[in-house]
Structure 1
Amino acid sequence: MKCVTVVFGQGTKLIVTDADVAPPVLNILRSTREDLTSSSKVTLVCLINHMSVGFADVRWLVNGNSVTTGVFTGSAEQQRDQKFKMSSYLTIESSEWEKDQDLTCEAIIASKTTSTSIKKSECSD
């Protein structure tokens, strides 16, 4: 058994998973150089791939502090290999990006956290 989902009443879900659910693969993409120079905002995209289950709690952190403003997380989509993928977006002011802060995307599945981070200084233009 990998995952069993039961829906009750008004959409309440009970999801039971094996303890050995494989962690997803996370990657963060940033705005292009052209977008960075023509906009006052920077959008980061956290791609969450190879999920064994069709859900994850996704959090963004700036220097270790959770942020919710400017965050949008989409629903998981099932792939041909029966794995799932989803994306989460963080939009921040360009001035925040220029501060070279540690920006982290976390995906929590079955009480296990997988994360990846990005900083402006680590990006090549």
Structure 2
Amino acid sequence: MCLLYEMHSLFIMLGAILLLFVCFTVLMAQPVQLPHFVKVNIGQSVTLSCITERGSAYCYDMMWYVQYPMASFQQIISDRKYSTPSERLERNCSLTIRNVKANSTGMYFCSGCSIALNVFGNGTWLSVTDGSSHSPTLFIVRPLDNEMKLRNVTTLICMVCDIPFHSVMIYWNISGTITNGLMESRLSTMKGEYCMTNQITISAVTWNEGTNCTCIVENEPGIFFTKHIWKKDKTLGILARIPGAVSILVRIIIFLLFVIIILVTCLLTRIQLDSTVDLLIKGSQHS
């Protein structure tokens, strides 16, 4: 009996070790998805790649999922629009999407399925456009006075809409200093457009000095869009929008114009006064 009990315990231990080995093999066999970003036009077809390099996973173990912006995670079922390789022992388990629509934009994942675990790939972001080139919409939210009074700092928020989010870079130029800021990864909608934000905190002194703060968006490599903001001087209006030496020059010119206007006014008044005196003198002579 003792021998049977020991053999039974040994079999249980070997089974547990084998199960752990299988689990670790599956964990190491993470699918590799390439490329990380794909951009296509409406009506085209696209193939997303998913390769299993290690482990026991083949295409018959693979499933595809998609997460659309502002939507939940959902499984893709093969049909006329979606198709996967017919050879089930393939290692390249691609997904072909035919006649893509505007609402096909999203993050696509392949997943190796086993008895106990699902191992997801790194994901591919599919961006669907209408083929026309257009600029993203940039908007900077002006800071709150209460924050400056309470914390002696101010927060600037740059909102960027109508862009392929997973390929865009957003950062700030604060008076020549480049900083990344804090990116908001959650997508939001604004009039049907997908938007994301990047915020930065600067000191109240920097803001009150009229420092030029620029939000920079790199939509594609080498293609930049910018939006500027600075504190406006309520007493000088548009002059506060002109930074640095140019502002000083404009102020000097306005001062000189003001002086010239005063001198001209005084001169015209003197001429008018002299004319009046001449008329009075001539009138007294005639009488």
TM range (shorter): 0.7 to 0.9
Report the Cα offset of residue 54 of structure 1.
2.6
The correspondence for 2:146, drawn from 30, 34, 42, is: 34
Q: CA 1:20 to 1:77, structure 2 compared with 1: closer, same or farther past 3 Å?
A: same
Name structure 1 gaps, 5 residues minimum. Answer: none
TM-score by length of 1: 0.73
Structure (1 or 2) with the greater helix fraction: 2
What number of residue pairs does the alignment pair up?
A: 120
- Residues in 1 aligned to 2:47 and 2:209: alpha-carbon distance in whole angstroms: 43
- How high is the sequence identity, in percent, across the aligned residues? 17
Structure (1 or 2) with the greater strand fraction: 1
Retained in 2: the 8 A contact 1:42–1:94?
yes
Does 1:96 find its partner at 2:231? no
- Residues in 2 aligned to 1:59 and 1:114: alpha-carbon distance in whole angstroms: 11
Larger relative contact order, structure 1 or 2 (CA cutoff 8 Å, min sep 6) = 1
- Residues in 2 aligned to 1:93 and 1:11: alpha-carbon distance in whole angstroms: 39
- Residues in 2 aligned to 1:62 and 1:23: alpha-carbon distance in whole angstroms: 23
Q: CA 1:12 to 1:58, structure 2 compared with 1: closer, same or farther past 3 Å?
A: same
Residue matched to 1:121: 232
Residue matched to 1:105: 215
SS at match of 1:75: strand
- Residues in 1 aligned to 2:217 and 2:230: alpha-carbon distance in whole angstroms: 18
One-letter amino acid of the structure 2 residue matched with residue 119 of structure 1: W
Structure number with bigger Rg? 2
One-letter amino acid of the structure 2 residue matched with residue 35 of structure 1: E
SS at match of 2:140: strand
One-letter amino acid of the structure 2 residue matched with residue 106 of structure 1: I
TM-score by length of 2: 0.35
Retained in 2: the 8 A contact 1:17–1:110?
no
Retained in 2: the 8 A contact 1:105–1:115?
yes
Name structure 2 gaps, 5 residues minimum. Answer: 1-39, 52-120, 238-287
Does 1:48 find its partner at 2:48? no
Q: Once the two structures are superposed, what CA deviation does each residue of 1:13-43 show, in whole Å capped at 9, x if it has no partner?
A: 5878878542111111132122222221100
Q: CA 1:2 to 1:43, structure 2 compared with 1: closer, same or farther past 3 Å?
A: farther
SS at match of 1:120: coil
- Residues in 2 aligned to 1:7 and 1:119: alpha-carbon distance in whole angstroms: 46
